[in-house]
Structure 1
């Protein structure tokens, strides 16, 4: 009787098999597959990254950091040998940002030739909307937002109302979302509206200015509320993505993810809220600089919630867009909107959590945007 042979699969097929287990929480099955890949292809960077993610979710941070560091070295080695590998460069940039090695990521991102990624439209429709918007003289628009500020729905409403194309321009997650110069160069030609969480860094401001971006809407929300929403989002969404657990600044450790909401809020108030405050203050400082190369309009979710028509009117006026070009009755997809409440945090935070949160935000920031202690 002839001996049966096991069917062979490619490296990509094996990785995707691991990803499928990983994404549904079957961590041991995923881990076994990633380890098998490493036994066949030592130092395979994607498998190392996934093992780091699994280890973080299992609470083994020492092992996770070891895998992460090995993955970064492996990605760097592959890129050195094959500098034209776009996927490798993008993965390395993304994971350097996750590891808080921002300067190294910025050095690599200058040569990252990522194309624009059409959203909510097929490439043909994206191009049609872009060209039609350019012919009507619509400028490039960026709504740069603090996460969990209902900005996705506002962005969709503006895009539909103006008939503009939509895409993202950055790489990474909050707090290190970084503008991709190649994408910005194309975006600067107009006809596109983007929603971002771009960090207030000199590098990002320079990339925006170099691409011809002269105006920026910075959309904010009471950071005590966004922190509450982030606690839900990071637990139910970000931590369950393949690479989300690698973002240690904004993704809690396993013990916190598996704890109750109050303990998750404690971690988010102490660790995430300061990042949100830094984001807001950073853009405030840029806006206050007389030598700033970009004009900034601050908008808030609270302003949108109470006076949506005035919110859109301010945005159109800021960009010099005739209001007749905006279809106010345009329907738009509502995305990632958990409740949309204004002050839910007051009902959920304990008294001690409220005290700590108010101290982190500070009275000057509260006053600047009309939020109350």
Structure 2
């Protein structure tokens, strides 16, 4: 599935919406998405142009040939919609996507297709998106049989090895991945009907869900009674996240910048690593610590699903042992399990435990430690952490 393309430039997109260079742009779109002809792309741009000029019915024909699956033409339309949003036409982009995907296709594309799912998460207000997703998922739940295989839910702090661990879970237990939340950090929302679909078994899901009262209640209502919580020293996670941001912005990931919290300043690319660290110490680290603290409260109150707490640092030392803990927790056999090589996974930059001690200046370390709750850290399995700072 496609996840990243450079956005259409403002000059080309705005020109095409005014019928300037539309055919040339349509040809480029056709070249990106095999199966889409230039004539089809011209038609898409024409409909979107009319909608931008106030024609409320112009987008009504977009979903006619895309209702049964996520085709190249669907992805081409999502690409155009993302480019609209990237250039400030957020409402137009949202309307294009919702016109492209009908109610039976919307949840399917959201939970299974990263390219379409990320676009949906990026655009539109949360209430509207939740409504459309829940309506679509409710239809799928009614028509989806239960599975004898237990679903596995992985909730992680960002940059705590989530992608690597999720990939191994999907492979070793033959559990396809679906989304059950809007996928925002540090404040996320459960898509309750998608969570019900997950709870029917035979699936895996991973996200960075926060432990708000609404989310915990939604998980319980959906029938999710267990989850794996994977954490990492937030100071190292912060440093890893900064490099993650750099990679995605260099790759011009369309949906990425707008979804980040804190939002990335326009001067980010010109900043030194030290300046980026200063920005994230104040803007990201307190939110990560608060995210961990809320999960600790749920564990202490025993008010939600049963939780298995794991640490990134332990996975780095013994990934197979990590997987065996998850298998045992969910009632799977621990025999004949295997894990992929971490160094071969593109989401592993270095996986170092305490690189932050070498990279952060003494002043930055002091500032970072002001945001750390050492009670929370010790609760999550970091004994003696206070004495090390």
TM (norm. structure 1) is: 0.70
* 1:71 equivalent in structure 2: 90
Q: Which of 267, 271, 285 is residue 279 of structure 2 equivalent to?
A: 267
Q: Point out where structure 2 has 5 or more consecutive residues left out of the alignment.
A: 19-48, 54-58, 60-77
Kindly state the Cα deviation for residue 251 of structure 1 after the two structures are TM-superposed. 4.0
Q: Which of 279, 282, 288 is residue 300 of structure 2 equivalent to?
A: 288
* 1:13 equivalent in structure 2: none
Matched, 1:41 2:41: no
CA contact (8 A) 2:242 2:276 kept: yes
1:323-342 Cα offsets, whole Å, 9 max, x none, are: 23xx2335467340000100
Q: Distance in 1 between matches of 2:16 and 2:165?
A: 43
Matched, 1:194 2:205: yes
**Length, aligned pairs only:** 316
CA contact (8 A) 1:219 1:300 kept: yes
Kindly state the Cα deviation for residue 364 of structure 1 after the two structures are TM-superposed. 1.7
Q: Which of 324, 329, 335 is residue 338 of structure 2 equivalent to?
A: 329
CA contact (8 A) 1:168 1:195 kept: yes
Q: Distance in 2 between matches of 1:319 and 1:78?
A: 37
- 1:77/1:305 Cα in 2 relative to 1: closer, same or farther (>3 Å)? closer
Kindly state the Cα deviation for residue 309 of structure 1 after the two structures are TM-superposed. 4.4
Q: Distance in 2 between matches of 1:164 and 1:77?
A: 32
Judge which range, 152-161 or 327-336, deviates more: 327-336
Q: Distance in 1 between matches of 2:327 and 2:104?
A: 40
Q: Distance in 1 between matches of 2:270 and 2:365?
A: 23
CA contact (8 A) 1:94 1:171 kept: no
Q: Which of 258, 268, 290 is residue 278 of structure 1 equivalent to?
A: 290
Matched, 1:301 2:312: yes
* 1:172 equivalent in structure 2: 183
Q: CA RMSD in A?
A: 3.9
* 1:113 equivalent in structure 2: 137
1:325-362 Cα offsets, whole Å, 9 max, x none, are: xx233546734000010001111111111111111122
Matched, 1:185 2:164: no
- 1:104/1:163 Cα in 2 relative to 1: closer, same or farther (>3 Å)? closer
- 2:267 aligned counterpart, secondary structure: helix
Higher relative contact order (CA 8 A, sep 6+): 1
- 1:102/1:78 Cα in 2 relative to 1: closer, same or farther (>3 Å)? closer
Q: Distance in 2 between matches of 1:330 and 1:49?
A: 35
CA contact (8 A) 2:151 2:175 kept: no
- 1:50 aligned counterpart, secondary structure: helix
Judge which range, 296-305 or 360-369, deviates more: 360-369
1:100-179 residue pairs with structure 2 within 5 A? 102=126, 105-113=129-137, 134=147, 137-179=148-190
Kindly state the Cα deviation for residue 259 of structure 1 after the two structures are TM-superposed. 1.2
Q: Distance in 2 between matches of 1:138 and 1:77?
A: 37
Kindly state the Cα deviation for residue 223 of structure 1 after the two structures are TM-superposed. 0.6
* 2:367 equivalent in structure 1: 356
CA contact (8 A) 1:142 1:216 kept: yes
CA contact (8 A) 1:75 1:92 kept: no
CA contact (8 A) 2:320 2:338 kept: no
Q: Distance in 2 between matches of 1:249 and 1:179?
A: 18
Matched, 1:216 2:227: yes
* 2:30 equivalent in structure 1: none
CA contact (8 A) 1:175 1:250 kept: no
CA contact (8 A) 1:93 1:105 kept: no
Q: Distance in 2 between matches of 1:227 and 1:150?
A: 13
- 1:95/1:271 Cα in 2 relative to 1: closer, same or farther (>3 Å)? farther
Kindly state the Cα deviation for residue 94 of structure 1 after the two structures are TM-superposed. 7.2
Q: Distance in 2 between matches of 1:320 and 1:209?
A: 20
Kindly state the Cα deviation for residue 204 of structure 1 after the two structures are TM-superposed. 2.6
Q: Distance in 1 between matches of 2:121 and 2:171?
A: 32
Q: Distance in 1 between matches of 2:203 and 2:182?
A: 17
Q: Point out where structure 1 has 5 or more consecutive residues left out of the alignment.
A: 1-15, 23-28, 55-66, 117-126
* 2:44 equivalent in structure 1: none
Q: Distance in 2 between matches of 1:311 and 1:153?
A: 12
Q: Distance in 2 between matches of 1:92 and 1:166?
A: 15
Kindly state the Cα deviation for residue 102 of structure 1 after the two structures are TM-superposed. 4.8
Judge which range, 161-170 or 251-260, deviates more: 161-170
